[in-house]
C-alpha cells in the first residue's frame, strides 16, 4: 500500500531523453504499472510534445505534456492527446534558458493557461537571474485563478546545474511564502542525497525534498530546510516522513523517473512503503 504522503510522487519519465523506448511500449508499460499494487505512487506518463501524432494510442491514460516545441504548438498537442482519450493532467514547459529573462516565456504560458483554464500549467523556471520575480508572476497568475505553478531543474550535465542545499532551500521557502506548489526535474536519482561516483556530481535526494517540504510548510527558516536537504543519512528523513505518512504531501508535487520501480524499491527498503498489497 502507498501512504498518502507519497501519492502521485513519481511521474513516468520513460519517454524522456535519453530513453530509446517507443511510445506504444511506454504506454503499455505504464498501463501495466497502473494495474499494480503500487499504482498510488504514480503520477502521469510524461509525453514530449514532439512525439504527439495522429497515431496516438487510444487509451484513457493519465498523461502530462512536456513542452519541447514552441508554446504556440502545444494546444494542438493537448487536443490530440484528449482526442485519443487521454486525461491530460498537466503541461510543463521551459520559459527561458539560464541567464535569460523568464518573463516573456511566462507571459506566453499565461496566455495558454487563459485559453485552457482546465489545464494545469507548470512553468520551468531557471534557477538563475530573475527567479524571484518569476515566482511573483506565477503567484499573480494563481491569484487570477489561473492554474499555474513552477517547476525547477536540480541537475544536469554540469556541476553548476545542481543547486546547493542552501540554494534549493531558499527556493522551497520562496515557494512556501507565495503558496506555490512546485515540481522538480533532473538529478533526483535516489531517495537520499549522494555523490555519483562516475561524474562526481552530488545529487539531491527526492526523500530529502519531501522532508524539506514538510519542514518548510511548518514554517522553518532556510537554514533548517537546507540542513534536511544536505542530509546523507536516512534517519533524519525517514522518521519525519513516517510520522506524516497519512498526510497530504506539502509543496513538493512530484518528479519524473525513467524507471518508476527504482524510487519504489528505495522507499520499500527504507521501510516507508510496504513491499506489496495489503
pLDDT by position in tens, the chain (length 278): 899 999 999 999 999 988 888 888 999 999 999 999 999 999 999 999 988 875 666 678 899 999 998 898 999 999 989 988 889 999 999 999 999 999 999 999 999 999 999 999 999 999 999 999 999 999 999 999 999 999 999 999 999 999 999 999 999 999 999 999 999 999 898 999 999 999 999 999 999 999 999 999 999 999 999 999 999 999 999 999 999 999 999 999 999 999 999 999 999 999 999 876 65
Alpha-carbon distance of 172 to 249, in angstroms, equals 14
* Best CA proximity match to 220, nearest among 262, 251, 253, 189: 251
Alpha-carbon distance of 127 to 181, in angstroms, equals 16
Alpha-carbon distance of 229 to 237, in angstroms, equals 9
Alpha-carbon distance of 206 to 249, in angstroms, equals 13
- Residue 144 burial (CB count, 10 A): 11
Alpha-carbon distance of 10 to 21, in angstroms, equals 18
DSSP state, 37?
A: T
Rounded to two decimals, the pTM is 0.95
Cα distances from 62 to residues 12, 27, 90, 116, 160, in angstroms, run 10, 10, 9, 18, 34
CB burial of 220-252 (b: ≥16 within 10 Å; e: otherwise) equals: bebeebbbbbbbeebeebbebbeebeeeebbbb
Torsions phi, psi of 235, nearest 5? -55, -50
* Best CA proximity match to 6, nearest among 57, 52, 37, 41: 41
Amino acid at each position: 500500500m502507498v501512504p498518502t504522503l507519497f501519492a502521485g510522487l513519481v511521474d513516468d519519465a520513460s519517454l524522456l531523453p535519453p530513453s530509446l523506448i517507443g511510445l506504444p511500449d511506454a504506454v503499455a508499460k505504464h498501463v501495466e504499472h497502473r494495474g499494480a499494487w503500487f499504482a498510488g505512487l504514480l503520477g502521469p506518463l510524461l509525453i514530449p510534445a514532439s512525439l504527439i501524432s495522429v497515431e496516438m494510442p487510444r487509451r484513457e491514460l493519465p498523461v502530462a505534456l512536456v513542452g519541447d516545441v514552441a508554446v504556440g504548438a502545444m494546444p494542438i498537442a493537448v487536443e490530440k492527446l484528449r482526442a485519443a482519450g487521454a486525461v491530460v493532467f498537466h503541461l510543463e514547459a521551459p520559459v527561458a534558458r539560464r541567464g535569460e529573462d523568464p518573463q516573456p516565456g511566462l507571459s506566453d504560458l499565461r496566455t495558454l493557461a487563459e485559453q485552457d483554464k482546465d489545464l494545469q500549467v507548470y512553468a520551468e523556471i531557471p534557477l538563475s537571474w530573475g527567479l524571484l520575480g518569476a515566482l511573483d508572476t506565477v503567484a499573480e497568475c494563481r491569484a487570477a485563478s489561473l492554474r499555474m505553478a513552477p517547476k525547477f531543474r536540480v541537475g544536469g550535465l554540469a556541476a553548476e546545474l545542481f543547486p546547493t542545499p542552501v540554494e534549493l532551500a531558499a527556493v522551497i521557502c520562496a515557494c512556501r511564502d507565495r503558496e506555490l506548489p512546485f515540481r522538480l526535474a533532473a538529478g533526483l536519482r535516489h531517495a537520499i542525497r549522494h555523490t555519483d561516483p562516475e561524474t562526481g556530481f552530488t545529487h539531491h535526494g527526492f526523500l530529502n525534498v519531501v522532508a524539506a517540504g514538510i519542514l518548510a510548510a511548518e514554517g522553518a527558516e532556510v537554514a533548517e530546510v537546507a540542513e534536511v536537504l544536505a542530509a546523507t543519512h536516512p534517519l533524519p528523513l525517514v522518521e519525519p516522513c513516517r510520522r506524516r505518512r497519512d498526510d497530504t504531501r506539502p509543496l513538493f508535487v512530484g518528479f519524473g523517473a525513467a524507471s518508476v520501480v527504482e524510487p519504489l524499491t528505495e522507499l520499500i527498503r527504507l521501510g516507508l512503503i510496504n513491499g506489496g498489497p495489503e
